[in-house]
C-alpha cells in the first residue's frame, strides 16, 4: 500500500482473524451451533466437531498464505511464546504434499514446560506441559519474516495440572465473577442474563527512539531503559508535547501500526502524543477481559515490529529516561451482562439505583480487603521507578469516586439514606458561537490508583510492559469474593429490601477509609493513609509477600483461581525475575563504565592535559583548564570507585540462592550502588566533549525521532 492510498477500515478490519462470522460461513450449522454454545456456556467440543473446525481453520489459513500453525500462549515471562508446526504431513502416491490439521492438534499442544519460569513447579527433567485451545479467543494470522503463521490462543499448564501461564487464572477468575455477579443481579429480578463478563480497555503508553541510536546504547539494548544519562536542556516542562502535533515519522509509524492492528481485529481507537518527549499512547475499545489481554499482547508485539520497519525502536519499559514521565497502561474495567447491562452504570439517579450501590459497596470492600494483592498485581521491575514518583499513582491503593458518588456515600453512611445526588449542570463557555455543554457530575483525578470514571473503574498502576492478566485476575477474584459474601447474606434475608439497605450502609461505613479524592502525590496523603491504616508497599520485592498470606490463599483457593502451590511458585518467580533483571542492569552498567565511559573520559583528560602543558609552555594562564582537568579527574576517580563497589556487590550476590534474601540484597545494596555509579558518569557527560562521548545522549534520543 502506498502512502497516498485511502484505507477502507471496513474491508481490512479483522481480515487476518478467524472470526465468528467466518466460522459461520465455513462450518456446518450444527457444528457452528456447538462451537457457539461452548464459547458462551462452556463445555467441550466433540472430537468430530473439533476435526471439522480444524479443517475449516486450516483451509482459511492456507488460502491466506499460511504454511504453519502455532499454539500461541502467555507463559510466566509476561510475554508470549510460540512453537511453529507446518501443515505438511506426507506426500500422497502421486508425490503431492498433503496438508492436514486435526482437531487434536487444534485443541492440545505439548511445548516443553521445563524452560519457562515455573517457580519450582517444574524441574529441568520434568519437561511435559500442555497448551489448550481457548475457544473464546479467535485464532489469527501473524505475518513476518517467517511467513504467515496461524496463531491459536491457548492456555498453558503443567503435566500435573498447575497453571504455568497468565491466561488460565484469568479465565478462571472470569468464570468466578460471572457466577457471583449472577447471584447479585438475580436478587434484583434479572432472570434473563446468563453470563456477566468483565470488559477491559487497556491504554498503552510507549516511547519511540531512532533505532540506530538505540543500538548504540547497551543499557537500552539489554535493560530496555537508559541506566545513565544527563538531563536534556528541555524535558516536558512546557507541556508542549502532550496532545501536540504528531511528527511525520511518528505519524507514519502510527498509520502502519493501526493498519496492522485493524487487520488483526484489534480495535485501535485513540492515538496521541503523551506528556514526555517521544512518548505516545494508543487506546482500544473495550473487549472481553481475556480477548483484551490477548490483544494487548498483540499490540505490544506489533508496535515493536512496525517500529523496526520504520527505523525506530519501541520502548515499553516503564521508565526509559530519568527525569521525565514514565509509561503505564491504564486498565479500564467494568462488568456487563449478556443482555447488555453495565453493572457499573449509576444511571441518572445513582442514589436510587440500589443494585449499583450494592455493586459499588462490594467493590470498595474488595479493594480495601485486598489492597496488597491489587498493588502486587501491578508490581514489576520497571514500575519501581514510576509508582509514587509524581507522574503515576502512588504505591498506596485508594479509590476515587468523584463528588457525586462521594456525596451519596456520605448520605448513606451518616444518615442511613440518600435522597439526592449532585449533577453537573451546564458549562457556560462565555462565547456566543460556542455551545454551552452539559458538565459531568464530577471531575477526574489522575493521581488515583483506582478511579471511578463514569461507568467503569480505571486501575492506573499497571506498567506499560506488563501483561494485564494479573491485574484483571486479581480484580475479578476480589470482587467475586465480595459479591459472594453479599449474596450469602442477602439470599437468606427475610426482608430483602431492608437487608440490602443495611448491607450497603455497613460495607460503605467499614470501607470508607479507602475513598480518597485529593492529591495522591502529596506528602500529606502518605501521612493520612498511614493514619487510616492503608498499606504503602513501595517495592516489587515487598509486594510479593501478598501472594502467600493466609488471606490470599483463602481468596484464590475459594474460587479455584490459584492453589497455594501456584501462589508460592509465582512468588518465587517474582523474586527470581527481580534479581535477574537488576543483575542484567548492573552488569550493563559495569560494562559501559569500563568499556565506554572511562576510556572516553581518559581520552578527554589527555586532551585537556596536553592543552594545559601547551599553555604553560607558552606562558598563557591555564588555571581554567586546570580546574576542568581536576573536576574530570575527580569524576573519573568516583566512577572507578563506584564501578568496583558495584562489581563487588554483584559478585557477592551471585553466590546466593534465588529467593527473598537474594532479591533483598539486590534491592537494598545493589540498586543504591547502581545509583552511586550513575551520578558521577552523568556529571561527566556534562563536561566531556560531545564528540568523544561514546553513546547518544538524552537530547539525541528524545528529540531526534
pLDDT digits over 261-310, tens only? 999 999 999 999 999 999 999 999 999 999 999 999 999 999 999 999 99
What average pLDDT does the segment 514-518 reach? 94
What percent of the chain is modeled with pLDDT above 70? Answer: 95
Nearest to 54 by CA among 71, 73, 37, 42: 71
How many CB atoms are closer than 10 A to CB 83?
15
Rg over CA atoms, the chain: 28
Q: Phi/psi of residue 86, each to 5°?
A: -80, 160
Mean pLDDT taken over the chain: 92
Residue 9 · residue 262 · CB < 8 Å: yes
Q: Residue 296: what pLDDT?
A: 97
What percent of the chain is modeled with pLDDT above 90? Answer: 78
Tens digit of pLDDT for each residue in 173-226?
A: 999 999 999 999 999 999 999 999 999 999 999 999 999 999 999 999 999 999
Cα–Cα distance for residue pair 636/542, rounded to 1 Å: 35
Cα–Cα distance for residue pair 268/42, rounded to 1 Å: 29
Residue 642 · residue 673 · CB < 8 Å: yes
Cα–Cα distance for residue pair 32/387, rounded to 1 Å: 47
What average pLDDT does the segment 68-93 reach? 87
Cα–Cα distance for residue pair 539/536, rounded to 1 Å: 9
Give the cell for residue 14: 479483522
Residue 200 · residue 333 · CB < 8 Å: yes
Q: Residue 427: what pLDDT?
A: 67
Give the cell for residue 509: 461505613
Residue 618 · residue 664 · CB < 8 Å: no
Q: Model-level pTM greater than 0.85? A: yes
Q: Residue 449: what pLDDT?
A: 94
Helix (H) or strand (E) holding 239: none
Q: Residue 319: what pLDDT?
A: 95
Tens digit of pLDDT for each residue in 217-266?
A: 999 999 999 999 999 988 888 878 888 899 999 999 999 999 999 999 99
Tens digit of pLDDT for each residue in 434-461?
A: 777 676 666 677 789 999 998 999 999 9
Tens digit of pLDDT for each residue in 119-146?
A: 777 665 566 789 999 999 999 999 989 9
Residue 112 · residue 159 · CB < 8 Å: no
Q: Residue 66: what pLDDT?
A: 95
Nearest to 466 by CA among 525, 380, 538, 548: 380
Residue 92's pLDDT band (boundaries 50, 70, 90)? low
Helices first, then strands: H and E counts in the chain: 24, 20
Helix (H) or strand (E) holding 124: none
What average pLDDT does the segment 636-641 reach? 98
Residue 591 · residue 674 · CB < 8 Å: no
Amino acid at each position: 500500500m502506498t502512502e497516498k492510498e485511502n484505507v477502507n477500515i471496513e474491508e481490512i478490519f479483522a481480515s487476518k482473524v478467524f472470526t465468528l462470522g467466518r466460522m459461520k460461513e465455513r462450518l456446518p450449522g450444527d457444528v457452528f451451533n456447538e462451537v457457539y454454545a461452548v464459547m458462551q456456556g462452556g463445555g467441550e467440543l466433540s472430537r468430530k466437531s473439533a476435526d471439522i473446525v480444524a479443517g475449516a481453520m486450516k483451509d482459511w489459513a492456507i488460502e491466506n498464505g499460511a504454511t504453519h500453525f502455532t499454539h500461541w500462549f502467555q507463559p510466566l515471562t509476561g510475554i508470549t511464546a510460540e512453537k511453529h508446526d507446518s501443515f505438511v504431513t506426507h506426500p500422497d502416491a502421486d508425490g503431492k504434499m498433503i496438508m492436514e490439521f486435526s482437531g487434536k492438534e487444534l485443541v492440545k499442544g505439548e511445548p516443553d514446560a521445563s524452560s519457562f519460569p515455573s517457580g519450582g513447579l517444574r524441574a529441568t527433567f520434568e519437561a511435559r506441559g500442555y497448551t489448550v485451545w481457548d475457544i473464546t479467543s479467535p485464532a489469527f494470522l501473524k505475518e513476518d519474516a517467517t511467513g504467515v503463521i496461524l496463531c491459536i490462543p491457548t492456555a498453558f499448564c503443567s503435566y500435573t495440572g498447575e497453571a504455568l501461564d497468565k491466561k488460565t487464572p484469568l479465565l478462571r477468575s472470569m468464570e468466578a465473577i460471572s457466577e457471583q455477579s449472577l447471584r447479585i443481579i438475580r436478587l434484583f429480578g434479572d432472570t434473563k442474563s446468563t453470563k456477566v463478563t468483565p470488559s477491559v480497555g487497556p491504554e498503552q503508553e510507549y516511547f519511540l527512539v531512532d533505532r540506530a541510536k538505540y543500538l548504540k546504547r547497551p543499557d537500552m539494548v539489554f535493560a530496555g531503559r537508559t541506566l545513565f544519562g544527563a538531563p536534556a536542556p528541555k524535558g516536558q516542562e512546557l507541556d508542549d508535547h502532550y496532545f501536540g502535533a504528531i511528527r511525520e515519522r511518528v505519524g507514519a509509524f502510527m498509520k502502519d501500526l493501526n493498519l496492522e492492528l485493524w487487520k488483526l481485529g484489534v480495535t485501535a481507537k485513540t492515538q496521541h502524543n503523551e506528556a514526555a518527549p517521544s512518548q505516545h499512547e494508543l487506546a482500544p475499545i473495550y473487549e472481553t477481559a481475556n480477548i483484551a489481554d490477548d490483544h494487548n499482547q498483540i499490540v505490544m508485539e506489533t508496535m515493536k515490529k512496525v517500529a523496526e520497519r520504520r527505523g525506530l525502536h519501541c520502548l515499553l519499559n516503564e521508565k526509559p529516561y530519568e527525569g521525565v514521565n514514565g509509561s503505564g497502561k491504564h486498565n479500564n474495567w467494568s462488568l456487563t451482562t449478556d443482555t447488555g447491562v453495565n453493572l457499573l452504570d449509576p444511571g441518572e439517579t445513582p442514589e436510587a439505583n440500589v443494585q449499583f450501590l450494592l455493586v459499588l459497596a462490594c467493590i470498595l470492600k474488595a479493594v480495601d480487603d485486598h489492597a496488597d494483592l491489587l498493588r502486587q498485581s501491578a508490581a514489576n521491575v520497571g514500575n519501581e521507578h514510576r509508582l509514587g514518583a509524581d507522574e503515576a499513582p502512588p504505591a498506596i491503593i485508594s479509590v476515587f469516586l468523584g463528588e457525586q458518588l462521594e456525596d451519596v456515600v456520605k448520605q448513606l453512611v451518616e444518615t442511613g439514606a440518600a435522597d439526592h445526588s449532585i449533577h453537573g449542570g451546564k458549562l457556560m463557555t462565555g462565547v456566543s458561537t460556542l455551545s454551552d455543554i452539559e458538565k459531568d457530575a464530577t471531575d477526574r483525578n489522575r493521581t488515583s490508583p483506582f478511579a471511578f470514571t463514569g461507568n467503569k473503574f480505571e486501575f492506573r498502576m499497571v506498567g506499560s510492559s506488563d501483561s494485564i492478566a494479573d491485574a484483571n485476575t486479581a480484580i475479578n477474584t476480589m470482587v467475586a469474593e465480595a459479591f459472594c459474601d453479599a449474596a450469602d447474606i442477602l439470599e437468606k434475608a427475610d426482608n430483602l429490601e431492608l437487608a440490602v439497605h443495611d448491607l450497603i450502609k455497613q460495607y460503605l461505613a467499614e470501607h470508607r477509609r479507602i475513598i480518597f479524592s485529593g492529591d495522591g502525590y502529596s506528602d500529606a496523603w502518605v501521612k493520612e493513609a498511614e493514619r487510616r491504616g492503608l498499606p504503602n508497599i513501595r517495592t516489587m520485592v515487598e509486594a510479593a509477600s501478598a501472594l502467600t498470606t493466609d488471606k490470599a490463599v483463602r481468596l484464590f483457593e475459594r474460587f479455584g483461581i490459584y492453589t497455594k502451590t501456584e501462589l508460592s511458585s509465582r512468588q518465587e518467580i517474582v523474586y527470581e525475575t527481580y534479581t535477574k533483571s537488576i543483575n542484567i542492569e548492573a552488569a550493563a552498567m559495569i560494562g559501559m563504565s569500563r568499556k565506554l565511559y572511562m576510556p572516553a573520559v581518559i581520552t578527554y583528560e589527555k586532551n585537556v592535559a596536553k592543552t594545559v602543558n601547551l599553555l604553560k609552555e607558552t606562558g598563557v594562564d591555564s588555571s581554567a583548564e586546570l580546574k576542568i582537568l581536576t573536576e574530570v579527574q575527580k569524576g573519573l576517580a568516583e566512577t572507578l570507585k563506584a564501578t568496583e563497589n558495584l562489581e563487588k556487590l554483584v559478585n557477592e550476590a551471585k553466590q546466593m540462592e534465588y529467593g527473598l534474601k537474594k532479591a533483598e540484597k539486590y534491592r537494598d545494596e545493589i540498586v543504591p550502588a547502581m545509583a552511586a555509579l550513575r551520578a558521577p558518569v552523568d556529571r561527566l557527560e556534562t563536561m566531556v566533549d560531545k564528540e568523544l562521548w561514546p553513546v547518544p545522549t538524552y537530547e539525541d534520543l528524545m528529540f531526534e525521532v
